[in-house]
Every structure is written in structure tokens, then in C-alpha cells.
Amino acid sequence: MSKKLTIGMFGFGVVGQGLYDIIKTKNLNLEIKKFVIKNADKKRTLPAELFSTDPNAILDDPEINTVVELIDDAEAAFEITKRALSSGKNVVSANKKMIATHLEELTEIQQQHGTSLLYEGAVCGSIPIIRNLEEYYDNELLHSVSGIFNGSSNYILSKIFNENQSYDAALKKAQELGFAETDPTLDVGGYDPKYKLAIVASHAYGVYIDPELILNLGIDKLGNADIKYAREKNYKIKLIPLAKEVSNNEVVLYVLPKFISNNSMLYNVENENNGVLVKAAFADEQFFYGKGAGGHPTGSAVLSDIAALRYDYKYEYKKHLESQEVSYTTNYDIKVYFRYEDEDVLENISFINISERFYSDEHKYVIGTINIQEIIDKRSLIHQDGNFLAEIL
């Protein structure tokens, strides 16, 4: 028999509305008692008495045993989550930046107070990757976890490669559809998938990584020359985060645009869809595919967590208990394409080797091997206007 959940929800935006739309069609032994929102003057589709601008209306209500956090302010979300967990309330969140940045502390709070924080909706929308890493792969040796974690950037790249749209036109369309924000840097700059990657790495390898230490370059410097190169080689460009075991006790994490060929499972993941590729020692290669953006796909993942709380489900963080020796490294060599404008920039970047050079009146590029730490150290040079770097798989 499931226990009844009395819910207080912070935020009633796209995901909050999508979640409510799903909940009202189900009989799940739960009740949403109060919504806390930022703008009291905004017209709502539900009765006004359900809404408040005071966080205490939820956090101080002893009848509310479950908090659903769906706001876009990471630090405010952290304070809400920390206070709720510490006062005996379970929490469901979809805030990937908040979770990635504070996961170690939040894990300790859960252990101290016997509460549960679930966040399937924070990573890859409707794809249940966190639950699978926790349950299915808990005793598995994982070689790597990679994929397409950001629906906004993938939508833009799909329009460029499938419909010959310009980057600017594809971005504008993504913004009109609500896939990308007015300031799209979080998505096209690779920050959103970086936060998701840090969360995935915690469950896959048992490591807490400050996301600020993870390399991320996005697609915001993508140019016509790069698109032309990809088409000539029968590649597509995808923005791909990677967590990979590089030795028995080290993992590397980074987010880069990548040229991928049609033999990759990620090649045909298009539009706002996400795909997660897991390579394991015993299960071999497995692929997860689903919607990565939108109120209803993410709302379905949030609802899955809410439903699990009816049966007192908690993440056990088994890999953290079993993998104390695993550490994070940036000492890893990759093959890249680097288009650059200024010859002085290339001279100040230490490639391990360069296998190909191209010069024309319009642009120039090199193909070579470089260390991840060198990209981090020279990021300001590599990512300045007129340059674009992508890994070649």
C-alpha cells in the first residue's frame, strides 16, 4: 500500500504545468496543496488560493511531506531543498545546476535526516538514466557514459544539417518553440550538459565533481566552414558530454562538439530528442532514447520520482560506497579539428601532433591530437571569436 503524498510545489512554469497536466489524469494517492510562485500578478489556470509567494507556506506546513522544486534559480533552489530535507520533507527536483553544484552536501543531509532527494527529471528529460545507473548498473563496470544530453542544441544542429538552416535561423526557431532561452548560452555553450554530466558521473563512477572543473565548449562558435567540412566527410556535428574510465581508478569528463559518423547510434538522434550511450564490461553497449525537452517529457520524469516516494524510494549511491579510490583526471588525449583565424593562436597551443593542415582565403584548420588539460589551460585562446574546436570520433 502506497502512502499518501501531500505536495508543495515551487514553480509553475512549463515543467510545473506539464506535471500538473499529467497528475490530474491519474489516481495516484497524492494531493498538491500549495504552489509557491515568484509573480503573484501572473494569470494562472488554477484557483488563486492555491498560490503563494511565501516559501514558508510550504516549508512550515507540517501536512506537506513532499516538496517538488521546479524553479530556475539554482541557489534559491538549494536553500529550499536543504531546508526541506533537513525538516523531514522529501524533495523531487529538476534543477541540474543546483544538484550538480551541491550534490555531495545534499547527499550528506539526506543521510543525516533520513530523507530522500530524487532528480530523474534533471537529466535527459524523459530518459530514466539515473534510475538505471542506480539499479541496473549498480554492480556493473562502466567503460563510458556519453550521449546527447541537451535538446536545445541538438534541435539547432538538426535544423542545420537536415534542413540547411543557418545557425542564427535555427537558434531563433528553437527560441520561438521554447527549447532555447532568450540568452541561449546555458545550452549552446555546453553548460547545461556539463551539469548533467556531473550528476551522471556521480551515479556511474562514485565521484563528486565540481562542474566548474569540467571542460565545456559549445556550438556557439560553429561556422559555415565547419559545417562544410562535416558534410564533405559525411559527418554530423553533435554536442556530446562524455564520462569515461581511462584507468582502473581515474575517470575523465568533458563536453565538446563532436564530428560523428553514421555508424554511431547518436547520428540519428534529432531535434529535441536525447540519447544516452552506456558502454559496460558485461552488458556491453546499450542505448537510451527519448524526448529531452518540453514540459510533458520532463514532467513525466518528475512524476516518476514522486510516485517512487510513495514507496519510500531513495538513491543508495552504491558506487560512492564501493569506489572510494576513483578520482577525476584531465590528463587525456583526444583527436580534434581546430579552425582558427589568427596564426599566433595556433603557435601558442601545444598540440601533441598535427596530422593535417588546411589553408584557404576564407579559413584555415588543423587536425591533431591535444590533451584535455591543454584545452582547459588555453580555453580563452581556443574559444575566442573566429575559432571552433570539435573532437573527431
Domains of the chain: 5-130+296-322 (3.40.50.720), 147-290+329-392 (3.30.360.10)
* Category of 279 on φ-ψ map: left (φ > 0), alpha (ψ -120 to 50) or beta: beta
Catalytic residue among 34, 159, 194, 196: 196
pLDDT average, residue stretch 368-377: 98
pLDDT value for 324: 64
- Digit-coded pLDDT (tens) for 296-317: 788 888 999 999 999 999 999 9
In angstroms, the CA 256 to CA 247 distance is 21
- Digit-coded pLDDT (tens) for 64-122: 999 999 998 999 999 999 999 999 999 999 999 999 999 999 999 999 999 999 999 99
* Three-class HEC string of 78-140: HHHHHHHHHCCCEEEECCHHHHHHHHHHHHHHHHHHCCCEECHHHCCCCCCHHHHHHHCCCCC
- Digit-coded pLDDT (tens) for 260-301: 999 999 999 999 999 999 999 988 999 999 987 777 788 888
Residue 28 DSSP SS3: coil
Lookup: cell for 33: 496543496
Residue 223 has pLDDT above 60, yes or no: yes
**How many other CB atoms are found less than 10 A from the CB of residue 381?**
16
Calculate the average pLDDT of the chain. Answer: 93
Confidence of residue 323 (pLDDT cuts 50, 70, 90): low
Q: Is 221 a catalytic residue?
A: no
